[in-house]
Amino acid sequence: MSITTYGLQHIKKEIEHLPQEQVSELLLRLARYKKENKELLAYLLFEAYDEAAFIEKVKAEAGFMFSQLPALSYNAAKGMRKILRLLGKYTKFSGSKNVEIELLLNFCDNYLEYADRRTSYKPIRLILTRQAEKIKNLISKLHEDLQFDYLESYNTLLTDAEMKLAWFKKSDYLL
């Protein structure tokens, strides 16, 4: 026997008919089962109203994690992937492309500051190139006014990367 999975529309209609006490009881029960559910609920209740403070908090956490990266290339790559998973979770919570771009730009800045520039370990290099591609695609999907705001930061990032990393070619990632 398996439980039928309903779509969001059907669940939404059913929730609209429930009294408020029962809805809060359902939310608390849902939050009890997974850590990510609790984190999302905490974000929505306590941090969603102030997106700028949330972004700064996440940037500080990512910066601290970067400062703790090990020297070995293999372990450093694992640490960077862990930071990216964390950033992905937080961007999923916010649901905003702007937050995602801000956090990825910050990730790349931290990469340039903390990553070993002399390494020839390909996975570490690919982490930066994939994030640059991701930022490029996200910016291209934004409205023209927002594109202009982020384009300057993105181009500065590319220029810094080209100056600090011998293997990075700015022309490959220009918009």
CB atoms within 10 A of CB 78: 13
Helix axes 20-33, 35-42, angle to 10 degrees: 130
Distance between CA 25 and CA 31 in Å, rounded? Answer: 10
Amino acid in position 168: F
Q: What pLDDT does residue 3 have?
A: 78
Q: What is the mean pLDDT of the chain?
A: 90
**Ranges of residues in the chain whose predicted pLDDT is under 70:** 1
Amino acid in position 19: P
DSSP notation for 13-43: HHHHTS-HHHHHHHHHHHHHH-HHHHHHHHI
Helix axes 122-141, 97-114, angle to 10 degrees: 150
Contact 121, 150 (CB under 8 A): no
- Taking only the tens place, the pLDDT of each residue in 119-157 is 888 999 999 999 999 999 999 998 888 888 899 999 999
Per-residue DSSP letter, 174: -
Q: What pLDDT does residue 23 have?
A: 87
